[in-house]
Amino acid sequence: MNTHIRDTGRRFGALLAATPRGARQARRLAVERIAAWGLPTDGPELVVAELAANAVTHGRVPGRGFRIELALSCGVLRIEVVDTRGDRVPRFRDADGGAEGGRGLVLVEAVADRWGVDRGLPPGKTVWAEWDVPGECREP
Ligand SMILES: Nc1ncnc2c1ncn2[C@@H]1O[C@H](COP(=O)(O)OP(=O)(O)OP(=O)(O)O)[C@@H](O)[C@H]1O
Ligand SMILES: [Mg+2]
């Protein structure tokens, strides 16, 4: 299995195949890790499922994988899905904007506290979502 996993406390990352199976793995790994951090998983599970599905369909470059990154830092849970298709970015349609498709990002918008797209170094882009986590900030 071409899966590379990094787990350092409250950071977690995995490089996965850009396939439906890789997308399912992203979802399962995210749920396992976020549950281990003692946080609710329902919203993040939905968001990872949608963003990973997008990465392996719209964001896929043949022969390249995609990455999922999770981080729980001072008061914020952040999920990142990084794909290698830097020339195409998510197009958000609001709920009544289109008859077909576009359901995934509408769900992300509804479920996450914030989300967005970062154009990093080419090739690639990061689609991220965040939740505020009350009481998780124990840093001075
Ligand atoms: N990772 C991505 N890379 C490139 N384009 C993307 C990516 N994610 C989304 N998009 C673009 O944004 C559009 C809207 O995404 P969204 O997830 O809302 O809908 P969808 O994937 O087309 O359909 P659904 O999620 O309902 O199956 C997509 O149709 C696609 O054109
Ligand atoms: Mg989608």
CA of 93 to the centre of ligand 1 (A): 9
Largest CA distance in the chain: 49
Q: What is the CATH number of the domain that holds 24?
A: 3.30.565.10
Residue 89 lies in a domain: yes
How many structural domains are present in the chain? 1
Residue 96 lies in a domain: yes
Residue 99 lies in a domain: yes
CA of 59 to the centre of ligand 1 (A): 9
pLDDT at 72: 95
Mean pLDDT confidence for 102-128: 92
pLDDT at 140: 55
pLDDT at 2: 60
Residue 137 lies in a domain: no
Residue ranges with strand state E in 1-140: 4-8, 11-16, 66-73, 76-83, 114-118, 125-132
Instruction: List, for residues 42-85, the tens digit of each pLDDT value.
Output: 999 999 999 999 999 999 999 999 999 999 998 999 999 999 99
Residue 85 lies in a domain: yes
CA of 8 to the centre of ligand 2 (A): 30
Chain centre distance of CA 114: 12
Cβ proximity of 75 and 137 under 8 Å: yes
Residue 97 lies in a domain: yes
Of 105, 117, 131, nearest in space to 53 by CA? 105
Cβ proximity of 127 and 115 under 8 Å: yes
Residue 139 lies in a domain: no
Structural domain that includes position 28: 4-132
91 lines ligand 1 (CB under 6 A): yes
Mean pLDDT confidence for 79-93: 90
